[in-house]
Protein backbone atom coordinates (compact mmCIF):
# COMPACT_ATOMS: atom_id res chain seq x y z
CA UNK A 1 0.00 0.00 0.00
CA UNK A 2 1.34 3.40 -0.94
CA UNK A 3 0.80 6.73 0.74
CA UNK A 4 -2.73 8.11 0.83
CA UNK A 5 -3.00 11.63 -0.57
CA UNK A 6 -2.81 14.24 2.18
CA UNK A 7 -1.39 17.72 2.75
CA UNK A 8 2.28 18.13 1.79
CA UNK A 9 2.29 15.19 -0.61
CA UNK A 10 3.16 15.39 -4.29
CA UNK A 11 0.51 13.82 -6.50
CA UNK A 12 1.01 12.89 -10.13
CA UNK A 13 -2.21 12.21 -11.98
CA UNK A 14 -3.76 12.04 -15.41
CA UNK A 15 -7.00 13.86 -15.96
CA UNK A 16 -9.53 14.42 -18.67
CA UNK A 17 -11.84 17.39 -18.24
CA UNK A 18 -15.37 17.28 -19.66
CA UNK A 19 -18.13 19.86 -19.80
CA UNK A 20 -21.60 18.98 -18.50
CA UNK A 21 -22.62 17.70 -21.96
CA UNK A 22 -19.75 15.19 -21.90
CA UNK A 23 -17.57 16.99 -24.46
CA UNK A 24 -13.84 16.63 -23.76
CA UNK A 25 -12.21 19.99 -23.02
CA UNK A 26 -8.65 19.00 -22.18
CA UNK A 27 -6.60 15.97 -21.18
CA UNK A 28 -3.12 15.03 -20.03
CA UNK A 29 -3.43 11.60 -21.65
CA UNK A 30 -1.00 12.39 -24.47
CA UNK A 31 1.61 14.04 -22.28
CA UNK A 32 3.15 13.79 -18.82
CA UNK A 33 0.75 13.54 -15.89
CA UNK A 34 -0.03 16.72 -13.99
CA UNK A 35 1.99 17.11 -10.76
CA UNK A 36 0.73 19.11 -7.79
CA UNK A 37 1.73 19.80 -4.21
CA UNK A 38 -1.38 18.76 -2.31
CA UNK A 39 -2.90 21.18 0.21
CA UNK A 40 -1.28 24.25 -1.35
CA UNK A 41 -4.06 25.39 -3.71
CA UNK A 42 -2.22 24.19 -6.80
CA UNK A 43 -5.59 23.08 -8.21
CA UNK A 44 -9.24 24.13 -7.85
CA UNK A 45 -10.77 23.38 -4.41
CA UNK A 46 -13.17 20.68 -5.65
CA UNK A 47 -10.38 18.73 -7.30
CA UNK A 48 -8.12 18.96 -4.25
CA UNK A 49 -10.98 17.64 -2.08
CA UNK A 50 -11.64 14.79 -4.53
CA UNK A 51 -7.97 13.72 -4.50
CA UNK A 52 -7.65 13.62 -0.69
CA UNK A 53 -7.28 10.09 0.65
CA UNK A 54 -6.76 8.45 -2.77
CA UNK A 55 -3.77 6.30 -3.61
CA UNK A 56 -1.60 5.57 -6.65
CA UNK A 57 -3.52 3.36 -9.06
CA UNK A 58 -6.96 4.76 -8.15
CA UNK A 59 -9.19 5.83 -11.03
CA UNK A 60 -12.41 7.74 -10.46
CA UNK A 61 -14.72 10.38 -11.89
CA UNK A 62 -15.97 13.45 -10.09
CA UNK A 63 -18.45 16.28 -10.72
CA UNK A 64 -17.26 19.67 -9.51
CA UNK A 65 -19.79 22.52 -9.22
CA UNK A 66 -18.85 26.02 -10.36
CA UNK A 67 -18.28 27.33 -6.85
CA UNK A 68 -15.69 24.59 -6.20
CA UNK A 69 -14.15 25.08 -9.66
CA UNK A 70 -13.32 28.44 -11.25
CA UNK A 71 -16.20 30.41 -9.72
CA UNK A 72 -18.80 32.59 -11.38
CA UNK A 73 -18.04 34.73 -14.41
CA UNK A 74 -17.57 38.43 -13.74
CA UNK A 75 -19.19 40.73 -16.29
CA UNK A 76 -16.95 43.24 -18.04
CA UNK A 77 -13.75 41.81 -16.53
CA UNK A 78 -11.67 42.80 -19.52
CA UNK A 79 -8.34 44.49 -20.01
CA UNK A 80 -6.24 45.92 -22.84
CA UNK A 81 -2.73 44.46 -22.74
CA UNK A 82 0.42 44.69 -24.86
CA UNK A 83 1.10 41.94 -27.41
CA UNK A 84 4.45 41.35 -25.70
CA UNK A 85 2.65 39.28 -23.06
CA UNK A 86 1.75 36.59 -25.58
CA UNK A 87 3.97 33.78 -26.86
CA UNK A 88 2.62 34.02 -30.44
CA UNK A 89 1.29 37.57 -30.90
CA UNK A 90 0.95 37.25 -34.70
CA UNK A 91 -1.35 34.23 -34.39
CA UNK A 92 -3.85 35.90 -32.04
CA UNK A 93 -7.47 36.04 -33.10
CA UNK A 94 -10.79 36.92 -31.50
CA UNK A 95 -12.39 34.08 -29.55
CA UNK A 96 -9.10 32.26 -29.00
CA UNK A 97 -8.24 30.91 -25.56
CA UNK A 98 -4.57 31.52 -24.87
CA UNK A 99 -2.18 32.36 -22.06
CA UNK A 100 -0.89 35.69 -20.83
CA UNK A 101 2.75 35.34 -19.81
CA UNK A 102 3.03 37.19 -16.51
CA UNK A 103 5.83 37.20 -13.97
CA UNK A 104 3.51 35.38 -11.58
CA UNK A 105 3.08 32.61 -14.18
CA UNK A 106 0.83 31.91 -17.16
CA UNK A 107 -2.77 33.02 -16.94
CA UNK A 108 -5.47 31.73 -19.29
CA UNK A 109 -7.52 34.41 -21.02
CA UNK A 110 -9.93 34.69 -23.95
CA UNK A 111 -9.02 37.11 -26.77
CA UNK A 112 -11.77 39.63 -27.53
CA UNK A 113 -10.16 41.95 -30.10
CA UNK A 114 -6.70 42.21 -31.66
CA UNK A 115 -5.25 45.66 -32.46
CA UNK A 116 -1.91 46.72 -33.93
CA UNK A 117 -0.02 46.65 -30.65
CA UNK A 118 -2.63 45.91 -28.02
CA UNK A 119 -5.05 43.09 -27.38
CA UNK A 120 -8.35 43.18 -25.49
CA UNK A 121 -8.76 40.07 -23.34
CA UNK A 122 -11.42 38.62 -21.07
CA UNK A 123 -9.71 37.83 -17.76
CA UNK A 124 -12.35 35.34 -16.62
CA UNK A 125 -10.93 31.84 -16.56
CA UNK A 126 -12.26 30.05 -19.67
CA UNK A 127 -14.04 27.57 -17.38
CA UNK A 128 -15.50 30.24 -15.05
CA UNK A 129 -19.25 29.82 -14.63
CA UNK A 130 -19.14 26.15 -15.63
CA UNK A 131 -19.78 22.93 -13.74
CA UNK A 132 -16.97 20.50 -14.56
CA UNK A 133 -16.58 16.74 -14.77
CA UNK A 134 -13.17 15.10 -14.35
CA UNK A 135 -11.95 11.57 -15.01
CA UNK A 136 -8.84 11.04 -12.86
CA UNK A 137 -6.15 8.37 -12.65
CA UNK A 138 -3.63 8.68 -9.80
CA UNK A 139 -0.17 7.78 -11.12
CA UNK A 140 2.08 8.40 -8.10
CA UNK A 141 1.96 9.74 -4.54
CA UNK A 142 4.97 10.66 -2.41
CA UNK A 143 5.91 12.98 0.41
CA UNK A 144 7.06 16.41 -0.76
CA UNK A 145 10.69 17.46 -0.37
CA UNK A 146 11.58 20.44 1.86
CA UNK A 147 12.40 22.41 -1.29
CA UNK A 148 9.00 21.70 -2.80
CA UNK A 149 7.31 22.78 0.43
CA UNK A 150 9.25 26.05 0.48
CA UNK A 151 8.38 26.73 -3.19
CA UNK A 152 4.74 25.74 -2.77
CA UNK A 153 4.69 23.50 -5.86
CA UNK A 154 5.80 20.08 -7.10
CA UNK A 155 9.07 19.51 -8.92
CA UNK A 156 7.83 16.46 -10.80
CA UNK A 157 6.60 16.71 -14.36
CA UNK A 158 7.26 19.79 -16.43
CA UNK A 159 8.65 22.03 -13.69
CA UNK A 160 12.25 22.84 -14.58
CA UNK A 161 14.53 23.94 -11.81
ZN1 LIG B 1 10.17 25.20 -7.44
Give 92-129 pLDDT, tens digit per residue: 999 999 999 988 778 899 999 999 999 999 999 989 99
**C-alpha to C-alpha distance for 142 and 48, rounded to whole angstroms:** 16
Cross-strand pairs, 119: 81, 114
Q: Cα(148) to centroid of ligand 1, in Å?
A: 6
pLDDT-derived band at 16, boundaries 50, 70, 90: very high
How close is the Cα of 161 to the center of ligand 1, in Å? 6
CB atoms within 10 A of CB 5: 23
pLDDT value of position 104:
78
The mean pLDDT value for 17-44 works out to 94
18 Cα to the center of ligand 1, angstroms: 29
CA of 154 to the centre of ligand 1 (A): 7
Say what the pTM is: 0.82
Amino acid sequence: MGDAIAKDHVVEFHYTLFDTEGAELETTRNEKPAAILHGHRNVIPGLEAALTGRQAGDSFEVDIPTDQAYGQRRDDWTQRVSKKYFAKPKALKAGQITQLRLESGPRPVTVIKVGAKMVDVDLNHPQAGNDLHFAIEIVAVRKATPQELSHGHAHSGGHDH
